[in-house]
A and B are shown apart, each in its own frame.
Chain A
Amino acid sequence: MSEISFVRPDPNDFLDIDALLSEEEVLLRDTVRNFVEKEITPHVGEWWEEGHIPTADLAKAFGELGMLGMHLEGYGCAGTSATAYGLACMELEAGDSGIRSFVSVQGSLAMFPIWKFGSEEQKQEWLPRMATGEIIGCFGLTEADSGSDPASMRTNARRDGSDWVLNGSKMWITNGSVADVAIVWARTDEGIRGFIVPTDTPGFSAPEIKKKASLRASVTSELILDNVRLPADAVLPGVASMRGPLSCLNEARFGIAFGAMGAARSCYETALEYSKERVQFNKPIGSFQLTQAKLVEMMVAVQKGTLLALHLGRRKDAGTLTPEQISFGKFDNVRHALEVARTARSILGANGITLEYPVFRHMANLETVYTYEGTNEIHTLVIGQSLTGLDAFA
């Protein structure tokens, strides 16, 4: 008969989820964790407050580690497992959702479509320099009037001789103003197609969106395409439908299921420490039952969400993960991360509203994470459709 162990659980890994990771995964995770603790955490509060990040330096540092397009094979990419990619996202987002967004966009939204749908020449030309961070990419799908329903996009591309001419605009594009290359999705006579647009092409501009109250350590921009003329080989040959952008989003959403738990963990750990040190009524606030109930709820949410993410990672590596299951992960982990952040915020009292602690920053960031990459509602409908076979979108 099996025995019960009386080893006290680690408050920061209550279920010993670490035991489910391989030695290599632990090493990779710890490397990213160290990197974040040293290079991101000490500065990110200030970047967030100023609404400015040292993009080029970060891109280079990420490139050196092998973080950019890490789960892709060849072309200078590290070629790690999907689980390893998820673990890296988790650690990055424990730093800041904006920093994780940078890596998600570069790897899953800009490099992935080239890797998956590009020609051999396109891959050779772009991927190695994107992997090192020398070239920054962005992904333009959303438009001002076309968010949850991207198939309604108006941006279009028409053939002119052997060239393509693009017109339209994109909205809410991460890394837009700092990108060297944009993957732009546009309506054509042949369906929705992806274009590799060097951002110095005449007619292309990318004004930055200011006054954000969320994801402030990340650049968000509008893309304007005014008669942007591209050669015939700018189009991604491998896809001509919404399957193109949606398959990129699957990659990124998968990472978000992990990432959200990184942000939640950071909030929980901060609140746990705080509750042991902050004294009111002559006792640490962690000794009050209401605070303990909050801590327990947070810890359970973080552990369950991490297990879920890891399960999705193993399925992705086995090639059995479905888009609906990715929706499950994005839907459930992000909403719980947001709840954890709000609860942690309350435990920190007035300190919880400052940028001296990471909690408020995570909480505000997670509002974006809740909305982008498919809103919480849209993922609910995806899962609902999968349960009932009935489409509730429109």
Chain B
Amino acid sequence: MRVVACVKQIPDPSTPYKLEEGTGWLLRPNDQVLDDTDRYGVEMGLQIAQANGGTLTLVSMGPTGSAQGIRQALAMGADKAVIVDDATLRGADALTTARVLAAAIGKEGFDLVITGTESTDGYAGVVPQMLAELLGVPSLTYATSVEASSDQVKIHRQTVTGYDVVTSGLPAVLSVTAGVVEPRYPTFKGIMDAKKKPLETLTLADLGIEAGPAQEVTGVNPAPEREAGRKIEDDGSAHLAIIELLEQKKVI
């Protein structure tokens, strides 16, 4: 069984992000880390691949840099990694990203593609669905629990009120929520082996496609300062003022 996990390297979220003057694109340092939300996809992929005698391939788009984030996912146990890194992809939007990932995944071959639901730096939350459409396979999204065999996948899809049970044959695209499984720590052996695992870098020419940003950042504005809240002094009737406020906001 060929399982593919999409993983994204992002600037360390504990450091301040900087945008490029003019384009409004995020400046990506050489040392990027594995997006934390993708650790769940990697863990899910490892569990499914191990249970069904398969392999786990990582697919990523973005500047390779030191590839430290990818090594982190390889150290968890993935078998190999493919990174699409091409200068013309700078500023790629979600659809471009999905097209590039679809081309790389199609070239690799797959039975199941696993993604996060939303990346930590871009949080568009649409790449998985686009990917499924482009690959021409069903998408099972927002999974909070997953059962997979070599020809079928069944999930609990998170909804506002509870969950739906969704089942599909393979191949398919699956997006998992944080907490779907507990990601393992990379083992020391895994960390040392990661160096020896294949890490292939592809350009758009290698994939035989053309792509580039189809969207333009027309403006970047700082988030509005949060206004100071209103203080209600309790003279015995504060509850009434609060109820009135909540009614105004239509929350009760």
Contact = CB atoms under 8 A, between A and B. Distances in A.
Interface in B33-74: 66, 68, 71-72
B66 A28 contact: no
Contact of B186 (A23, A26, A31, A67): A31
A372 interface: no
Interface centre among B71, B188, B190 (most CB of A within 10 A): B188
A26 B68 contact: yes
B187 A27 contact: no
Contact of A66 (B72, B189, B195): B189
B192 A65 contact: no
Contact of A31 (B66, B191, B195): B191
Contacts of B194: 24, 27
B58 to A, nearest CB: 15
Contacts of B66: 23
Nearest to A22: B195
Given A23-B66, A24-B195, A80 B185 contact: no
B188 A78 contact: yes
A27 B75 contact: yes
Given A27-B68, A27-B71, A27-B72, A70 B188 contact: yes
Nearest to B15: A10
A62 to B, nearest CB: 10
Interface in A52-70: 64-67, 70
A79 interface: yes
Contact of B188 (A26, A28, A34): A28
Report the contact-size class of chain B (Cβ under 8 Å from the partner).
Answer: 10 to 19
Given A24-B195, A27-B75, A66 B68 contact: no
* Interface residue range, chain A: 10 to 19
A260 to B, nearest CB: 22
A80 B192 CA distance: 8
B185 A31 contact: yes
A84 interface: yes
Interface string A209-252: 00000000000000000000000000000000000000000000
Nearest to B74: A27
A274 interface: no
Nearest to A66: B188
A117 interface: no
Nearest to A34: B185
Given A23-B68, A27-B71, A27-B72, A78 B192 contact: yes
Contact of B191 (A27, A35, A64): A27
Interface string B182-207: 00011111111011000000000000
A27 B66 CA distance: 12
Main secondary structure of the interface of B (DSSP, over half): helix
A84 B194 CA distance: 15
A78 B194 CA distance: 13
Nearest to A88: B188
Interface string A77-116: 0111000100000000000000000000000000000000
Q: Which of B68, B75, B189 has the most CB of A within 10 A?
A: B189
Interface in A5-33: 23-24, 26-28, 31
A24 B193 CA distance: 10
Contacts of A78: 187-189, 192
A393 to B, nearest CB: 38
A31 B185 CA distance: 7
A28 B195 CA distance: 12
Nearest to B187: A66
A276 to B, nearest CB: 17
Contacts of A31: 75, 185-186, 188, 191
Contacts of B189: 66, 78-79
Contacts of B186: 27, 31
A67 B71 CA distance: 19
B185 A28 contact: no
Given A23-B68, A23-B71, A79 B192 contact: yes
Contact of A65 (B68, B71, B185): B185
A38 B51 CA distance: 27
A122 to B, nearest CB: 23
Contacts of A65: 185, 187-188
A372 B208 CA distance: 64
A22 to B, nearest CB: 10
Contacts of B190: 66
A80 B194 CA distance: 13
Contacts of B185: 31, 34-35, 64-65
A35 B185 CA distance: 8
Nearest to A39: B185
A84 B188 contact: yes
Contacts of B191: 24, 27-28, 31
Contacts of B68: 23, 26-27
Nearest to A10: B15
A70 B192 CA distance: 11
A24 B190 CA distance: 10
Interface of B: 66, 68, 71-72, 75, 185-192, 194-195
Given A23-B68, A31-B185, A79-B189, 7 more contacts: A24-B192, A27-B186, A28-B191, A31-B191, A65-B187, A66-B189, A80-B192
- For the complex of A and B, list the 8 residue pairs with the smallest distance between their C-beta atoms, beginning with the closest: A66-B188, A78-B188, A66-B187, A78-B189, A28-B191, A66-B189, A23-B68, A27-B191
7 contacts: A24-B71, A27-B75, A34-B185, A66-B189, A78-B188, A79-B192, A80-B188
Interface of A: 23-24, 26-28, 31, 34-35, 64-67, 70, 78-80, 84
